[in-house]
């Protein structure tokens, strides 16, 4: 039996990357797992049982976790996302920054770890080495799924017509870099470029203020639209209108919006972070130098005006191989049970 940790995800309504991973893996694992919550589960594991978590945690949040890991060697597994709270503490929730060192040490007590990208795996191994932790468990890469909405992959028969639409999805916070995108968009609008920009994402109460203020200012005079909450169906409708998705992020563990955009047949313009290049190399994407305003302005202008480039990227997005959540779940099951 696989006991599947839903301690935090069971009670949240937002669609962060962590929650997406927990929900989609849980759906695809189906009857192969038994959902459990730390505070109500008796934490007993039989000889063939596993405990699997995709969540973040600390000993303070889950009393007895360290002892549980020591009591069940060889029967615990976790998904690792990233070390962003350590690398970017100034733009991360203080609670996350304070929790992360202890979280990383607890991860070393699990029997098996799957990282959500090769860059994330290397990051974790490097941190453990820096911490002087030994021995540490093996870390494999789990390729996450692109099929976020549980719908068939989209292959466009024709590009959207009318005013071009650019779509950017992600929580409003400095890490996702929407302020940078808005400044680039404003320069293009000021020079006469015709396009709509749609931003989709919940707010980060601590960090979203400046971005929200800029959205309000620009929205009064530019074709800028902010969707604070959008269902998967509404997001799919926006993708159907989009010429490209735009993802200028400064740091990621995987970069699911890139994969999800490609699943919808929409090219993605994104930062050239090494972790994103793992997903862009198959085609359908236009990686641009991080924080390089001139390069982003030129790249977006090409997307908006060069129909040949758009058709080429759309063709690559529609035909390249893309991973699914069913494949990710199967990989986990095989790794834990051999089935």
Tens-digit pLDDT profile for residues 126-139: 999 999 999 999 99
Residue 338's pLDDT is what? 81
Query: What is the pLDDT confidence band of residue 19, given thresholds at 50, 70 and 90?
Result: confident
- 13, 78, 3, 65: which is closest to 34 by C-alpha? 3
Q: Which two tokens stand for residue 154?
A: 């989209």
Residue 155's pLDDT is what? 86
Query: What is the pLDDT confidence band of residue 15, given thresholds at 50, 70 and 90?
Result: low
Q: Which two tokens stand for residue 273?
A: 């972070």
| 11 pLDDT more than 80 | no
Check whether residue 303 and residue 175 sit in a common domain: yes
The verdict on residue 279 lying in a domain is: yes
Residue 210's pLDDT is what? 95
Angle between the N-to-C axes of helices 178-190 and 293-305, in degrees from 0 to 180, rounded to the nearest 10: 60
- pLDDT more than 70, % of the chain: 98
Residue 2's pLDDT is what? 96
pTM of the model: 0.94
Check whether residue 23 and residue 6 sit in a common domain: yes
Check whether residue 247 and residue 191 sit in a common domain: yes
Query: What is the pLDDT confidence band of residue 311, given thresholds at 50, 70 and 90?
Result: very high
Give residue 7's domain range: 2-145+324-337
- Mean pLDDT, the chain, integer: 94
CATH number at residue 197: 3.40.50.2000
Total of domains in the chain: 2
Q: Is 53 exposed, middle or buried, given 0-12, 13-18 or 19+ CB atoms closer than 10 A?
A: buried
Residues 25, 20: Cα–Cα separation, whole Å: 8
The verdict on residue 160 lying in a domain is: no
Q: What is the mean pLDDT of residues 149-162?
A: 88
- Contact (CB, 8 A) for 279 and 255: yes
The verdict on residue 290 lying in a domain is: yes
- Per residue in 42-74, pLDDT (tens digit) is 999 998 999 999 999 999 999 999 999 999 999
| 23 pLDDT more than 60 | yes
Query: Count of residues for the chain?
Result: 339
CATH number at residue 41: 3.40.50
Residues 142, 144: Cα–Cα separation, whole Å: 6
Residues 182, 241: Cα–Cα separation, whole Å: 20
Check whether residue 181 and residue 303 sit in a common domain: yes
Q: Specify the DSSP class assigned to residue 45.
A: -
| 13 pLDDT more than 80 | no
| 158 pLDDT more than 90 | no
Q: Specify the DSSP class assigned to residue 60.
A: T
| 218 pLDDT more than 70 | yes
Which single residue is written with the structure tokens 């941190």? 127
The verdict on residue 156 lying in a domain is: no
Residue 127's pLDDT is what? 97
Give kind and range of the element (H or E) at residue 260. helix 256-263
The verdict on residue 206 lying in a domain is: yes
The verdict on residue 154 lying in a domain is: no
């Amino acid at each position: 039996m696989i006991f599947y940790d839903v301690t935090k995800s069971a009670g949240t309504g937002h669609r962060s990357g962590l929650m997406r991973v927990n929900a989609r893996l849980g759906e695809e694992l189906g009857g192969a797992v038994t959902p459990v919550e730390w505070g109500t589960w008796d934490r007993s594991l039989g000889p063939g049982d596993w405990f699997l978590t995709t969540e973040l945690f600390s000993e303070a949040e889950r009393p007895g976790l360290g002892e549980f890991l020591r009591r069940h060697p060889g029967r615990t597994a976790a998904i690792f996302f990233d070390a962003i709270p350590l690398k970017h503490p100034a733009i991360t929730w203080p609670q996350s920054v304070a929790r992360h060192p202890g979280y990383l040490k607890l991860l070393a007590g699990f029997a098996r770890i799957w990282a959500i990208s090769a860059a994330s795996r290397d990051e974790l191994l490097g941190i453990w080495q820096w911490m002087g932790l030994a021995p540490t468990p093996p870390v494999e890469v789990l390729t996450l799924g692109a099929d976020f909405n549980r719908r068939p992959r989209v292959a466009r028969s024709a590009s959207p017509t009318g005013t071009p639409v650019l779509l950017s999805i992600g929580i409003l916070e400095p890490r996702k870099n929407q302020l940078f995108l808005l400044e680039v968009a404003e320069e293009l609008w000021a020079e006469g470029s015709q396009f709509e920009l749609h931003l989709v994402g919940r707010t980060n109460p601590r960090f979203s203020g400046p971005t929200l203020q800029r959205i309000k200012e620009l929205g009064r005079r530019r074709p800028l639209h902010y969707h604070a909450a959008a269902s998967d169906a509404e997001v799919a409708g926006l993708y159907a209108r989009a010429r490209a998705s735009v993802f200028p992020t400064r740091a990621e563990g995987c970069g699911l919006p890139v994969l999800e955009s490609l699943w919808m047949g929409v090219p993605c313009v994104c930062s050239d972070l090494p972790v994103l290049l793992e997903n862009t190399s198959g085609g359908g994407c236009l990686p641009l130098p991080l924080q390089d305003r001139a390069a982003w302005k030129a790249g977006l202008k090409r997307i908006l005006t060069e129909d040949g480039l758009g058709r080429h990227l759309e063709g690559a997005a529609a035909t390249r191989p893309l991973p699914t959540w069913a494949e990710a779940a199967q990989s986990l099951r095989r790794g834990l049970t051999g089935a």
